[in-house]
Amino acid sequence: MKIVFFGSSHFAVPALGALIKSGHELVCVVTQPDKKKGRHLRLAATDVKSIAVEAKLKIFQPEDIKANESLGFLKKLKPDLFVIIAYGQIFSQEALDIPAIMPINIHASLLPRFRGAAPINWAIINGDKKSGLTVMYVTRKMDAGPVMLQKEVKIEQQDTSVTLEEKLSQAAPEILLDALKLIETRSYRLMEQDEERVVLAPKLTKQDGQIDWNNPAAAIHNQIRGVMPWPGAFTSYRGKMLKIFQADPLPVFPAHKPVPGEVVRADKHGIVVACGRGFLEIKELQLEAARRMPAESFVIGHKLAAGEILGKNS
């Protein structure tokens, strides 16, 4: 089959690598334009482009995939299939109508759960025990197309959005090749999504990282893991932002009716903070304008003491 691959982020790289080795005719790789990055604002290619250049593939980097120039370029390729994974632009119906067979997308959730831009983050924030990948027929409505294949991936207790993304990325080649085999042999089935089970996963905002100590410790633990690497989980301490990178929930801790956000332990064994239900043992943190450090080092360096309150009014 003649395939056009659309992808930009590192998440798409393993799938592209598998496609290159698959024997299918990869007629073009479409990725986002180079962008200025770093202190010196040098132009940098997407991770997908770097792989495509190495493999000496035709590359197309349109500013707008819906533009007439883009549509004309894609039509001339006469593709059988679009394979889309972590590309970063929205397609028009005219674009989706170009491939002779169909456009497919690999989405990082078990649809219809977590439609949207941040499915990996919201799976962890919501405390899900499993995530996965979905191969679907692409329609104009975001992530709403009929499902061809799904693959479950377990979410471990200490997984963050970073580690889960890597797991799903590494699982993508297998499900992509399985889908291509089904399409090639015309043995696939498309199952409509159950709209009553839809859960949205919107793009994260800065506020999604702010800790509310009135929440249960388990929920805050999930939040810390789910908002990495951006915006990161944060609270306040003595008027400064305090980022928390690693913590564990504790169901109980010997303390006398603490208020949410109250530090109930700060010593060589670490930091424990009271939550709306349960307690959070902080393992690694960073005060604004300071370095990231283990909790026991923070206690020594910043004189944190039991009884202090973390949060908006600290």
Can you give the pLDDT of all 314 residues of the chain as single tens digits? 999 999 999 999 999 999 999 989 999 999 999 998 877 778 899 999 999 999 999 999 999 999 999 999 999 999 999 999 999 999 999 999 999 999 999 999 999 999 999 999 999 999 999 999 999 999 999 999 999 999 999 999 999 999 999 999 999 999 999 999 999 999 999 999 999 999 999 999 999 999 999 999 999 999 999 999 999 999 999 999 999 999 999 999 988 889 999 999 999 889 999 999 999 999 999 999 999 999 999 999 998 999 999 996 55
What CATH number is associated with residue 254?
Answer: 3.10.25.10
At residue 313, the pLDDT reads: 58
- Helices and strands, counts by H and E, the chain: 8, 17
Strand partners for 37: 42
Domain that residue 226 falls in: 206-302
On whether both 28 and 107 belong to a single domain, the answer is yes
CB atoms within 10 A of CB 160: 20
Residue type, 268: K
- Asked if residue 10 is part of any domain, the answer here is yes
Global pTM reads 0.95
On whether both 34 and 175 belong to a single domain, the answer is yes
Cα separation, 120 vs 202, in Å, equals 11
On whether both 138 and 8 belong to a single domain, the answer is yes
On whether both 217 and 195 belong to a single domain, the answer is no
On whether both 127 and 241 belong to a single domain, the answer is no
Number of structural domains, the chain? 2
At residue 170, the pLDDT reads: 98
Cα separation, 13 vs 122, in Å, equals 22
**Positions of E strands within 96-183:** 102-107, 113-115, 130-137, 147-154
Residue type, 275: C
Distances (CA, A) of 209 to 52, 212, 235: 35, 9, 9
- Asked if residue 311 is part of any domain, the answer here is no
- Using DSSP's 3-state secondary structure scheme, residue 22 falls into coil
Preceding amide of 249 cis, omega within 30: no
Cα separation, 248 vs 157, in Å, equals 10
On whether both 212 and 181 belong to a single domain, the answer is no
Cα separation, 302 vs 271, in Å, equals 12
On whether both 11 and 95 belong to a single domain, the answer is yes
At residue 36, the pLDDT reads: 80
On whether both 147 and 257 belong to a single domain, the answer is no
On whether both 109 and 37 belong to a single domain, the answer is yes
